[in-house]
Structure 1
Amino acid sequence: MDKIAVIYWSGTGNTELMANRIADGIEKGGKSSETFFVTDFSKDKIADYDHIVFGCPSMGAEVLEEGDFDPFFTDIEANLKDKKVALFGSYGWGDGEWMRDWEDRVREAGAVLYDEGLIIQETPDSDGEEECVDFGKGFAQF
């Protein structure tokens, strides 16, 4: 399959901006993508994609957003075996522990993780937006 799903949660718009720039990069990398807010994506759609990009900011004590995103991710984890997965998100504090923990969960689910998760502090500036585009291009070739 050449289609890639970009699934994200965003409260302030920072992670949404990252999702859109990553999707731009995927397109520039020669693949098509569809971008979904997490509540607009159902578990049964996971089977339609071999490549999935997940985005969620760090919340609270460096955890995934607990109202929508973490319950969704917990529900689909068992369906990630052998899928190629990339992770991204914004943060305002901490050292990226939430991303390292999330990477571990993806590996434990049997997915093939692309690179390290992309994290950007607060709102991506122009360099951060370009970093997102490059991340998407790289994942399109993964």
Structure 2
Amino acid sequence: MSKIAVIYWSGTGNTEAMADLVANAATAAGASVDKFTASEFNVSSAGDYTGFALGCPAMGAEQLEESEFEPMYQDLRGSLSGKPVGLFGSYGWGDGEWIRTWAEDAEAAGARLVVEPVMANGSPDGDAEAACAALGTALANA
């Protein structure tokens, strides 16, 4: 059975809503899922998981949140090699540069992205909800 860690940072609740959708879909597809905020996740437990769903909204000049998420991600980065990973996050401006840059970095670290990164402009709508569910299902079946 897949054991998935869903790790996210959310300032407004939009990315948290996406994390819930991903976690629920992965669970429904048969995976064991643990959900954490970036500050709750202990990187030393990364080896306990077969895959990761990572969620962070666009911040500032289209970048990851710098005080909690980015440091956690940098610590986790070395544990992503060969693992199935899904990326998701919300934004309110820009064109998604932050998530494309993040996906390139994750793939450079050896992560195997199971689907295209999922973006929601603000709160996840029907299309973003379906994409989050597909991400969770893909991780469970990876």
Do the two structures share a fold, i.e. TM-score over 0.5?
yes
Cα distance per residue 1:85-116 (max 9 Å; x no partner): 11000000111100110001111111111121
The percentage of counterpart residues that share the same residue type is 46
What residue is the counterpart of 2:41 in the other structure?
Answer: 41
Note if contact 2:86-2:113 (Cα within 8 Å) is conserved in structure 1: yes
- Which residue matches 1:87? 87
The 3 A distance-change label for structure 1 pair 131 and 44 is same
Please state how far the C-alpha of 1:68 moved relative to its aligned partner: 0.5
Contact kept in structure 1, 2:2 and 2:141, CA below 8 Å: no
Task: Say whether 1:99 aligns with 2:99.
Answer: yes
Q: SS where residue 75 of structure 1 aligns?
A: helix
Superposed structure 1 runs of 4+ greater than 6 Å apart: none
Shift of 1:130: 3.3
For residues 50-89 of structure 1, what are the structure 2 equivalents within 5 Å? 50-89=50-89
Q: TM-score, normalised by structure 1?
A: 0.94
What CA RMSD, in Å, does the superposition of the two structures yield over aligned residues?
Answer: 1.3
Secondary structure of 2:39 counterpart: helix
Aligned residue pairs: how many?
142
Q: 2:116: which partner in 1? A: 116
Which amino acid in 2 is paired with 1:113?
A: L
Counterpart CA distance in 1 for 2:136 and 2:102 is 19
TM-score normalised according to structure 2 size = 0.94
1:18 counterpart = 2:49: no
Tell me, in whole angstroms, the C-alpha distance in 1 between the residues paired with 2:77 and 2:65.
16
Structure 2: 5+ residue runs without aligned partners? none
Give the deviation of 1:128 after TM superposition: 3.0
CA gap of 1:131–1:112, structure 2 versus 1, over 3 A, is closer
Structure-1 separation of matches of 2:49 and 2:85: 10
Which residue identity lines up with residue 63 of structure 1 in the other structure? Q
Unpaired runs of 5+ in structure 1?
A: none
Indicate the residue corresponding to 2:139 in structure 1: 139
